């Protein structure tokens, strides 16, 4: 066989390979690259609050690990219902994430008359990101340093001691209602449009106390502008080790916390869900992230989609009872 014949056959074989390869790839179901463009994280609360702080931290790290920008899209309003609707109605293509939490996922179905989405049917869970203890804080002018002193003062001045929260039906509001349900203290709820203005008015003395998460409050407690009375959870926080738990303070039956997690619209392909889960769990186990979270109060979780779904269901069962007893509703 001469050289010309060998070269001709080689060229024919190469041409045949080029023609067959795309069809073969299509038949094998090769997954397209992901992600190929920017992603967004829908944030159902205003900028500057504890959920927003957490979301921006995760978005920055996801931008690095995914190689595409992850943009935070703040959609506040309706106790998180507006942001939840925006995320739930987005295409299930892996380019929209939702940073949900207790308000949008556990209590919303029992508080809103017409919640525009179903937390479990309209979303696919990815992972729970954090668990945040609740902190009972007071303005320094309020003459209490312990939970029992706070209860005694509230009962003595029935209806005259108030507490601020980030808004109706939020974790702080629910925590306050659970507190009233257990202690019969009768503290009065003062709702704000987000945690930052509530905390600002507590510092200014416009309100007397506050039930809120630690992420935004820790720096203000440390500089002495407000006093931390007690923290929920089984043990003291590394962020504020001098603050006793409610159990240590004589109220072991009081258990309330805030939490967050990442979800995507229902129907998002499982390989994308698994990819996001892998990246987020890796981030939440990073020593630098763990140190940042621990020092600010939240506890990193990073579990499976199935574990997160089971947790949401357990929280719905718990808080539906408190909501019914307190008759909390948002029209």
Is domain 133-231 annotated with CATH 3.40.190.10? yes
Provide the residue ranges of all domains of the chain, joining segments of one domain with +. 39-129+259-326, 133-231
Given the DSSP bridges, would you call strands 188-191 and 123-138 parallel, antiparallel or unpaired? unpaired
In whole angstroms, give the CA distance from residue 212 to residue 229: 12
**pLDDT at residue 16 above 60?**
no
Per-residue pLDDT band at 13 (split at 50, 70, 90): very low
What is residue 296's predicted lDDT score, i.e. its pLDDT? 75
Q: What does the angle CA 285 – CA 255 – CA 318 come to, to the nearest 5 degrees?
A: 95
What number of other Cβ atoms are within 10 A of residue 79's Cβ? 25
**pLDDT at residue 220 above 70?**
yes
Superfamily classification of domain 39-129+259-326: Bordetella uptake gene, domain 1 (3.40.190.150)
What is residue 224's predicted lDDT score, i.e. its pLDDT? 94
pLDDT tens column, 183-198: 999 999 999 988 889 9
Question: Are 39-129+259-326 and 133-231 in the same CATH fold?
Answer: yes
Per-residue pLDDT band at 99 (split at 50, 70, 90): very high
Q: How far is CA 215 from CA 35, 212, 284, in A?
A: 30, 9, 16
Q: How much is the average pLDDT of 74-102?
A: 94
Q: What is the dihedral of CA 276, 280, 282, 288, to 10 degrees?
A: 150
Per-residue pLDDT band at 299 (split at 50, 70, 90): confident
R_g of the chain, CA atoms, integer Å: 25
Of residues 63 and 50, the one with the higher pLDDT is 63
Give every CB contact of residue 245 below 8 A, 6+ residues apart in sequence.
230, 231, 232, 233, 234, 235, 236
Token pair for 147: 């939970």
């Amino acid at each position: 066989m001469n050289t010309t014949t060998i070269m001709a056959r080689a060229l024919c074989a190469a041409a045949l390979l080029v023609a067959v390869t795309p069809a073969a790839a299509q038949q094998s179901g090769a997954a397209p690259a992901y992600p190929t463009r920017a992603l967004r994280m829908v944030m159902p609360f205003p900028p500057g609050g504890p959920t927003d702080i957490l979301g921006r931290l995760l978005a920055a790290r996801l931008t690095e690990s995914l190689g595409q920008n992850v943009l935070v899209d703040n959609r506040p309003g309706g106790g998180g219902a507006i942001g939840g609707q925006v995320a739930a109605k987005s295409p299930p293509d892996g380019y929209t994430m939702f940073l949900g939490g207790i308000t949008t996922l556990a209590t919303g179905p029992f508080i809103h008359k017409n919640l525009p989405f179903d937390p479990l049917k309209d979303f696919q869970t990815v992972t729970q990101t954090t668990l945040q203890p609740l902190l009972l804080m007071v303005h320094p002018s309020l003459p209490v340093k312990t939970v029992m002193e706070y209860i005694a003062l509230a009962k003595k001045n029935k209806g005259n001691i108030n507490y601020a929260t980030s808004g109706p039906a939020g974790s702080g509001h629910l925590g306050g209602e659970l507190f009233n349900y257990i202690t019969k203290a009768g503290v009065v709820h003062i709702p704000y449009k987000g945690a930052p203005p509530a905390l600002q008015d507590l510092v200014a003395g416009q309100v007397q106390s506050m039930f809120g998460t630690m992420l935004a409050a820790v720096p203000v407690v440390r500089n002495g502008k407000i006093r931390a009375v007690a923290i929920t959870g089984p043990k003291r926080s590394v962020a504020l080790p001098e603050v006793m738990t409610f159990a240590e303070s004589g109220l072991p039956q009081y258990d309330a916390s805030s939490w967050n997690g990442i979800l995507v619209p229902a129907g998002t392909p499982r390989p994308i869900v698994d990819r996001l889960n892998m990246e987020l769990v890796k981030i939440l186990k990073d020593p630098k992230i763990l140190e940042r979270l621990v020092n600010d109060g939240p506890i990193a979780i990073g579990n499976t989609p199935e574990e997160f779904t089971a947790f949401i269901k357990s929280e719905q069962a718990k808080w539906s009872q408190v909501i019914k007893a307190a008759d909390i509703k948002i029209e």
